[in-house]
Structure 1
Amino acid sequence: MHPAAVVALVASLLLAGCSGLGPVNPDPTVTPAPVPADDPAVPGFEGTLPAGVEPSGVTDTRALGRAHAEELSGRSYTLELVEARARDSHALPVVRHEESVRVRRPGLYRHDSVVRRAWLGHGLDREERTAVYADGTTRYVRTVENGTARYERGTVARWRNWSGTHAQQAGRAVGRYLDVTNATLSTVDRDGKRLLRVRGRGSRTVEGERYRVEAHLDGAFVVWLEARWVEPREDEDVFVRVTMTYDRVDATTVAPPGWYGEALRATEGGGDEANASS
C-alpha cells in the first residue's frame, strides 16, 4: 500500500462509517449521572460548555471539531476506531475495520489497521493488515498480502502546531458525526468522572436512515463517540456503526515495532517516497 493511501485509510474511517461485530475493547462502565436541579440549562453539569455547544445542543460543529483537535495539542494518546457493516443475511459478509493509533507526538506514532470479512456462521474469510511506524522523521509502512510482507517509506509532514494529522482528522470526524438536526445535552458518569453527554438524531452529513449518535465530552475533548445508522439497499439494508474511543491520554508511549529493522533494510537506498506526508 502506498504511504499516502494509509493516510486516506484513516481519513475514510474517521469520515465514513461501519457496524457489526462489536467494539475493539469492552466499553468502560457508563451509568447515567444523577440529575440535580441546580442548573436549568444542563441539569447536573457544572462545567463550561465547549466551543460550538449551547444548552440547545451542538450549534457549530466546526468549532467543536477544532476545539477537540486543540485539546490533543502537545499530548500523547491512544485512539481506537471501529467501523463495522452488517446485514441480516448469512449469504453476505460482515465487514469490520479496526484502527489503533498511538501518538507520542506529531511525527512519532504507530498506526495499525486490520480489515476483516466474515460470513455469519462460517467464520473469518479474509483479513488485511497494514501497519505504520513514524520515528519522527520517516514513516514506514508494512503491508502483508498472502503471507508476504512489503515495505515502503515516506517523509513525515512538518506541523506548525502540536496537533498533527490524526488529531485534525479526528476533529473533522467529530464535526461530521455530531452535525445533527436534533440534539439534547445531559450528563453521564464515565470511569468515575462526570462528563457532558450529547445525544443526536437526524444527520445532515451522513447518508442513511435512523441516524443516532452519542458522544461523551470532557470539556471540548470527545473521549468517546458512537454513531449508528441504516443504509437502505434494494436487496437488503446495511446496518452501520462507528465508534471512537480515547485511552491512555498523556500516558501513551511509542516504541519501534518488531519489524522496524526489516523495514530499514528493505527500504534502504531507493524505497523512499519523498513526497509522501503523514
Structure 2
Amino acid sequence: MRWGLVAVAVAVLVAGCSAVSFGGDGPGSDPTSTVTPVPVTDSPPPTRTGVGERPPGVSVNGTVDAEALARAHTEYLADRTYTWSMREDASGPGAGFVRRVVVGNETFSLSQVQGELRRNASLYVNESGGFLRVAEPEGTRYDLLRLPGRPADYVFATVSIRQFLGDRTVAVSTVDRRGRTYYRLHAAGGPAPRALGPAEATIRHFSATAYVTREGFVRSLAAEYDRVVDGDPSHVSIRYDYSRLGESAPSAPDWVGNVTRRSTPAPVDPDATPERTATAERPGTPNGTGTVTDEHDGAATAATAGG
C-alpha cells in the first residue's frame, strides 16, 4: 500500500484540522448520543488502588508511560470489532467536531460533522475500496478511494492517550461498573500538552480523566482546558468513548450507489464550464480516484461510520 495516497484520503476527512486538537472537524448532529460513557454520577466513590494493581504503563507513583499504555490499548483491540466516538466542543464560531467510527470484520465506516457550517463527511470501506461522501452548503461530492487506509488512520485514541496522559502524574482509583473494574486516571494542573490549538494559543487549567481496564484498554478519555487565541478566550472539552465491543458491524449506506454515478456540479454557472472536483493530476483524492458532484444538499447528514 502506498502511504502517500492513503495520506491524501485521510486528509480529505480531516480538512480543517487546524481548528481542533488533533485532526478532524466539528458538531452539528450528535453521533455520540448513543454511547453510554463509563463514569456515571450514581457510581460508588472511587477506591484507592494498592501496589501493583495498575494498567500497563501506570507506575506505582502515578507517572504514566503513555507509549506502553498506547501499545497495550492497541493490542487489546487488535482482533475485536468496536465503535469509537469522539467529540470536541469549544465556544466560538464554527467550533466543534464530532466523529464516529464503526469497525467490523474486513470493513469499517466513519461519519463526522464539522462546526456550524455543517460540513458532513461519511466514509464506507469494504474489499472494493473506500466510498466517500462530503456534504457542504455548496453541494455534495462523492469519491471512490482506492487506497482508503485502515481504521487506525481515522481513530485518534492512541494520539489522545499520548497527548493527554504522556509525561504526567495521575491519581489512580478504581470504579466498578457492570461487573467490571475500571482504573480511573486523573491528572490536573501541570504544563499543558502541546498542539492544543494554534502555536500562539495560551492554554490554562488543563485536566484529563481516563477509565482503563487492567489490560490497558482505555475505554474512555476526556480532557478540558481554557484556551486564549488572539485575546479570544474559550473553554474546550474533548472526549472519546468505545462501545459495542465484539458487536459492531457497519452496513453500506444508501448513498454508496452514487459514487459511480456521473452528475453535473451544482450550483451551475451557465457561462462557465464546471471544474472537475478532482483529477489524477490534482491533489485532493488519490490517483485514479473517481469523483462526482451531486446537486446542492445542505441538509445532508453523515452516515454511520467506523474506523
**TM-score (ref. length: structure 2):** 0.69
CA distance in 1, matches of 2:93, 2:149: 40
> How big is the shift at 1:247?
0.5
CA offsets, 1:165-222, max 9 Å, x none? 345x421221111125331110113344221110012355245211100000022111
**Partner residue in 1 for 2:160:** 173
CA distance in 2, matches of 1:115, 1:20: 5
Equivalent pairs counted in the alignment come to 249
CA distance in 2, matches of 1:132, 1:158: 11
**Partner residue in 2 for 1:212:** 207
Contact 1:71-1:220 within 8 A present in 2 as well: yes
CA distance in 2, matches of 1:129, 1:19: 9
* Most deviating of 58-67 and 198-207: 198-207
Give yes or no for the alignment of 1:67 onto 2:67.
no
**Partner residue in 2 for 1:248:** 244
Which residue of the other structure, out of 35, 59, 77, is the alignment partner of 2:47? 35
**Identity rate, percent:** 22
> How big is the shift at 1:137?
3.8
CA distance in 2, matches of 1:147, 1:20: 18
Q: Counting strand residues as a fraction of each chain, which structure ranks higher?
A: 1
Q: Against the structure 1 CA distance between its residues 21 and 142, is the aligned structure 2 distance closer, same or farther, given a 3 Å change threshold?
A: closer
Give yes or no for the alignment of 1:189 onto 2:207.
no
The gaps in structure 1 that reach 5 residues or longer are 43-47, 87-91, 118-125
Q: Against the structure 1 CA distance between its residues 191 and 229, is the aligned structure 2 distance closer, same or farther, given a 3 Å change threshold?
A: farther
**Amino acid corresponding to residue 64 of structure 1 in structure 2:** L
**Partner residue in 2 for 1:15:** 22
Q: Against the structure 1 CA distance between its residues 78 and 138, is the aligned structure 2 distance closer, same or farther, given a 3 Å change threshold?
A: same
**Amino acid corresponding to residue 78 of structure 1 in structure 2:** T
**Partner residue in 2 for 1:273:** 286
> How big is the shift at 1:114?
0.4
Alignment RMSD: 3.5
Q: Against the structure 1 CA distance between its residues 145 and 200, is the aligned structure 2 distance closer, same or farther, given a 3 Å change threshold?
A: same
Contact 2:17-2:24 within 8 A present in 1 as well: no
Contact 1:3-1:152 within 8 A present in 2 as well: no
Give yes or no for the alignment of 1:80 onto 2:85.
yes
The gaps in structure 2 that reach 5 residues or longer are 1-7, 197-202, 264-278, 290-306
CA distance in 2, matches of 1:74, 1:11: 29
**Amino acid corresponding to residue 76 of structure 1 in structure 2:** T
1:228-267 residue pairs with structure 2 within 5 A? 228-266=224-262
